[in-house]
Amino acid sequence: MMSFDVACFRANVQCPDSSSSTSSFLACICCAGAVSNFYRNSLLIHYSRKATSFFFSAWLALWPFLFEKINKTKVVFSGETVPARERVLLIANHRTEVDWMYLWDLALRKGSLGCIKYILKSTLMKLPVFGWGFHILEFIPVQRKWEVDESTMRQMLSTFKDPQDPLWLALFPEGTDFTEQKCIRNKKYAAENGLPILKNVLLPKTKGFCACLEELRDCLDAVYDVTIGYKHRCPSFLDNVFGVDPSEVHIHVQRIPLDNIPTSEDKISSWLMDTFRLKDELLSNFYIQGHFPQEGTEMELSTEKWLVNIVPVIALISICIYLTFFSSVWFKIYVSLVCAYLASATYFNIRPVPIFCLVKAFL
């Protein structure tokens, strides 16, 4: 069996969000960008998503290994063992700014890493390099004003209906990460409006969740209710980057069939509110006991599998670096044009409309 000295590797790679990580992400963008945007403007949007998924799943797979093997973060799964490669809407609590990164650990184990999409703040789309990747991956940007977000959100959701396209759509219904100050304001609002008073989560915003179900219910397999808990200390982004914290992440997963969720907007809103009330109770028990019930639903990551996965990533980065610095001027122009296009597209929120959508509009 192949052996690998993780401790030695950790001593040399302390920060997962390093310049090498950014370079590899940019390499994925340069390779996937042209392919993705060409096909997305054609009749072959399905193949665009396959190409995008291929490039980015290879890059994203590095992160769970960095968390679990190099930073020595213990990731414990509990609840239900969900099937691989389902089309799902995933809802989760938002305890800190790094929660979304640990969903990759679950997605990797389920063969869905390349198709995970987030509903996120529109300001994040304007980040250099990473915002460009969010654009290619079709993340849904929101300004957290429903009258502004509804049309954009529904338009993008309508493009995710093809059952041939794998989909993990991740939504944090609280709309922001949890802090004690926000919790105090939340409790006051809940008391004034006859809503549940929650201690460990914020009241969920229901409009976005209702829209997701209205648009996608007929083409989803299930809803995943994910609860994330940090055993010792809630990490900041920099804690996570430098491997300081978290020491343990607990992820509780419940698979909810669509038949168990109401269809009317009012009842969906009540269902979501009740789900977060139960999530609050689950977290209260977690902070007392130090774990969620029914632990051990997922296996540890295989180091050998990661080493096999990293080979194409290293090859891709090497090829892109070689082409960028040692190839013809035309490739350098191509890289510059890709970067310029993505910078403009993310800043002005420009999204190409596939030809088949235009054809359908005239039928």
The whole-angstrom separation of Cα 265 and Cα 288 is 35
Side by side, the strands of the sheet bearing 168-171 are 74-79, 248-256, 222-230, 88-92, 168-171, 116-121, 140-142
Nearest alpha-carbon partner for 227 in 180, 296, 283, 168: 283
Boundaries of every domain in the chain: 27-362
Q: Which residue(s) pair with 141 in the sheet? A: 120
CATH architecture of 27-362: 3-Layer(aba) Sandwich (3.40)
What tokens appear for 256 in the block?
A: 């909810």
Q: What is the residue-level pLDDT of the chain in tens, covering all 363 positions?
A: 444 343 443 433 444 444 445 555 555 555 555 445 544 444 467 777 888 888 788 888 888 888 888 888 899 999 999 999 999 999 999 999 889 999 999 999 999 999 999 999 988 888 877 887 888 889 999 998 999 999 999 999 999 999 989 999 999 999 999 999 999 999 999 999 999 999 999 999 999 999 999 999 999 999 999 999 998 878 877 777 676 778 899 999 999 999 999 999 999 999 999 999 999 999 999 999 999 999 988 988 887 777 777 777 778 777 777 776 777 777 777 777 777 777 777 777 766 544 444 334 444
The whole-angstrom separation of Cα 288 and Cα 194 is 27
Q: Can you give the C-alpha Rg of the chain in angstroms?
A: 21
CB 6 within 8 A of CB 70: yes
pLDDT digits (tens, 9 = 90+) for 323-352: 767 777 777 777 777 777 777 777 777 665
Amino acid at 74: K
Question: pTM for the complete prediction?
Answer: 0.83
Which of helix, strand or coil describes residue 76? strand
Quote the strand ranges of the chain, DSSP E.
74-79, 88-92, 116-121, 140-142, 168-171, 222-230, 248-256
